[in-house]
Structure formats: structure tokens, C-alpha cells
Amino acid sequence: MAYALEVSALSRAFTGKQTVVALENVDLKVKEGELFGLLGPNGAGKTTLIKILSTLLLPTSGTAKVLGYDVDGEASKIRPLINMVSGGETSGYGLLTVRENLWMFSQFYGVPGSVARERIDGLLKAFGLEDKANAKVRTISTGQRQRMNIIRGFVTDPKLIFLDEPTLGLDVTTSRTIREYIRDWVRARDDRTLLLTTHYMREAEELCDRVAIIDRGTILACGPPAELKRRMNHASTFVMDTTSFDPAPLSAVRGVKGVSADEIESGKRVRLVLEDESAISDVISAVVSRGGRIVSLNKVEATLEDAFIEMVGRGLG
């Protein structure tokens, strides 16, 4: 099995007034044909990793190979084969039309004219942007520009595409359209690979063949969503409602040994992941001793989110 991505001992620091280590000793392998997700909270290092893999940024140390080529020495071999889009991206030449923008980028990748035209039409339709095809980019909405940029990524028919938070800030319908397109795109040919980052748990769980959970520049776990959830089987997950009290229930229960918690509803509802179910009595006394009262306590099925809460020690927030 060929690897689309082979990342080994990769680190990246940003030096400035203070040094920020964005990635630390990351090892990662993504197979050709995979739809791979990087899941992590803001500041985890997802964008930094994507920038390195898409040849925009160099690593501080370690190596990264994209489709067999080294990002440091062989960027010019990688570039024709990949593309990258950040979800929040609203960039583009405002004085060109949507179609002209897409056309120009397709031409920079040497897509033959008739193929490019056909592909642009198909993508505009798939993303519901066909009525804006001839509108100047400066006249369309932010969401429409985001869609245009996602199309820009696919219009070059890359072997490997990086999507950094592709549905960031988009409405539910558009997000679904994009997720469906992403899935179909990868499935349509078996030599297509897609790496996306997200901080939406559902997106990773629904979409990805495999997910890496990343936090503070380190990969904490990597595997198919189902497997990550299975790792949780020894633990128990509860949802607890309380009356509001001071300090907040979340900080009250976080102190309890063997318990990871995340707030679902501010000051009222928390999700608890217990290494051992017997810790529930400590949770209850932690709440009661601080003057809170338990309204309800339900045991629930573990989700990827719980795996995340347990590993990262907090939710995605």
C-alpha cells in the first residue's frame, strides 16, 4: 500500500517575542485513497501541519513526504499533484468573475481548456454557485466566496487535497453539500486522498476513514472513528444535569480523580467520562458538597467526543 503522506518526527516552532511550538514530534502516515481527518481544538497545530504538507511552510525539524516526495527538497514535484483550501478563505480577485478566477487557477495547473470548462461548470453546479458564475467576486457573499475557494481546490483534480476546516462558518445545508461532495470525490477513484482538519466532532466521525486526534502540537491517538470509540469501552460516560451553583459544576467535577468532563450546557449540564464507574459517587459528593443538586444523571453510549474528552482532558469547546 502506497502512502500519500509520511510524516516523521515533524516539529515546527515559531520564534518571535516568545517561541511557540506548534507541532512537536509528529508521526503520521496516511494511505493513498484515504479520507483522513485531523481533529483538534483551536491552536492544536492543524493548520500548521497542513501548511507544511502543502509546501507553504518549512518544518523546523523532522521530515514529511507527500506522495513520495520530500516537502523540503522536492516541493516542485509535489505542487502539480496537490491543492489546498482553507475553509475560512474568502480570497480571490474581486474584479474577476467567479468563473474567471477558477479558470485562471485551472490554467496555472495546466488543465486543458475544454476539460477545465466542463469541470468548472460541474463544480459550480455541485456547490450551488452556477447563478454566480459570471458575477464579479467582489459582489458575492462571504459564504459564496468560501464555496468558490473549495471549488478552486477541486478544479485542478489533485491527487491529494488538503481542506483546512472546510465547513467553517457555513450554514447547515452548505456544510452537508460539502461533506457529501468530499466523500463522493474520494470514493470516485481509489488514487484520491483527502486530508481535512476540523474541530467539529461530528464531521470527523461521519466522514473520515481514520482520524488523528491532535492537541498542543502532539498526536494523541489515530485510528478509525469506531476504533477510537472502542478504546473507550472500559470507561463509562454519563450526562449529568445539576442546579447551578458556585463554582460551576464543571470545575467541581474536574477535580475528581479518574474523571474527565466537558460542559454541554453552561453551568447546568456536563458530560462525564469515568475511567471507573465507581468514581460516580465521588462526582456526586463533589457536587453536593459545594451546594449543588443533581437534577438527572444518565449513562450514555460513548462517542468519539468522549474519546476526545478523555484524551485531551477537555472538550472541543
Partner 1 sequence: MAVSAHLRTFRHAAWLGWQMESNWTRPWLFMIYSIARPIAATLILVVMFLVVKQGVANDPAMFAFTYLGSVFFMFVAQVMMGATMVIMEDREHYQTLKQLYIAPISIRVYIIGRAMSKLLLTSVSVVISIAFGILVLGLPLDLGTVDWPLFAAAMALGISCILAIGIALAGITFLTAKHSSGINEGIGGAFYLLCGTLFPLTVLPSWAQAVGMAIPLTYWLELVRRSLYPGSAMEAISGLGALGSGTIMLYLVVSTLAFLAASTLIFRYADRRARRAGKVDMTTSY
Decide: is 80 part of the binding site for partner 1 (CB under 8 A): yes
**Site residues for partner 1, window 103-122 (CB under 8 A)?**
104-105, 107-110
Choices 46-54, 108-116, 237-245, 299-307 (CB under 6 A): range interacting with ligand ADP: 46-54
Cell numbers for 251: 470545575
Task: Give the Cα separation of 99 and 75 in Å (integer).
Answer: 28
Minimal distance in Å, beta carbon 201 to ligand ADP? 14
Decide: is 24 part of the binding site for partner 1 (CB under 8 A): no
Nearer to partner 1, 151 or 273 (CB): 151
CA torsion 35-83-66-4 (nearest 10°) is 30
Residue 220 Cα to chain centre, angstroms: 15
Give me the sign of the Cα torsion angle 157, 195, 53, 57.
positive
Minimal distance in Å, beta carbon 195 to ligand ADP? 13
Minimal distance in Å, beta carbon 144 to partner 1? 16
Minimal distance in Å, beta carbon 44 to ligand ADP? 4
Q: DSSP label at 97? A: B
Decide: is 86 part of the binding site for ligand ADP (CB under 6 A): no
Decide: is 84 part of the binding site for partner 1 (CB under 8 A): yes
Decide: is 14 part of the binding site for ligand ADP (CB under 6 A): yes
Q: Degrees (nearest 5) of the Cα angle 275, 277, 279?
A: 80
3 state SS of 244: coil
Minimal distance in Å, beta carbon 210 to partner 1? 24
Minimal distance in Å, beta carbon 30 to ligand ADP? 17
Nearer to ligand ADP, 14 or 93 (CB): 14
Choices 38-46, 91-99, 170-178, 232-240 (CB under 5 A): range interacting with Mg ion: 38-46
State the helix-helix crossing angle for 113-126 and 142-155, rounded to 10 degrees.
140
Answer for which of 66, 67, 82, 256 binds partner 1 (CB under 8 A) is 82
Decide: is 58 part of the binding site for partner 1 (CB under 8 A): yes
Task: Give the Cα separation of 54 and 48 in Å (integer).
Answer: 10
Cell numbers for 170: 457555513
How many of the other CB atoms lie within 10 Å of CB of 119? 18
Choices 16-24, 43-51, 62-70, 119-127 (CB under 5 A): range interacting with Mg ion: 43-51
Minimal distance in Å, beta carbon 216 to ligand ADP? 8
CB 98 within 8 A of CB 137: yes
Pairing assessment for the beta strands 82-86 and 160-164 based on DSSP bridges: parallel
Task: Give the Cα separation of 151 and 98 in Å (integer).
Answer: 10
Nearer to partner 1, 26 or 204 (CB): 26
Task: Give the Cα separation of 22 and 43 in Å (integer).
Answer: 8
**Site residues for partner 1, window 145-164 (CB under 8 A)?**
152
Contacts of 218 (CB under 8 A, 6+ apart): 24, 25, 26, 45
* Maximum alpha-carbon separation in the chain: 72
Answer for which of 4, 5, 34, 45 binds ligand ADP (CB under 6 A) is 45
Decide: is 47 part of the binding site for Mg ion (CB under 5 A): yes
CB 178 within 8 A of CB 170: yes
Minimal distance in Å, beta carbon 12 to partner 1? 9
Sites of contact with ligand ADP (CB under 6 A): 14, 16, 20, 22, 40, 42-48
Sites of contact with partner 1 (CB under 8 A): 14, 51, 54-58, 76, 79-80, 82-84, 89-96, 100, 104-105, 107-110, 152
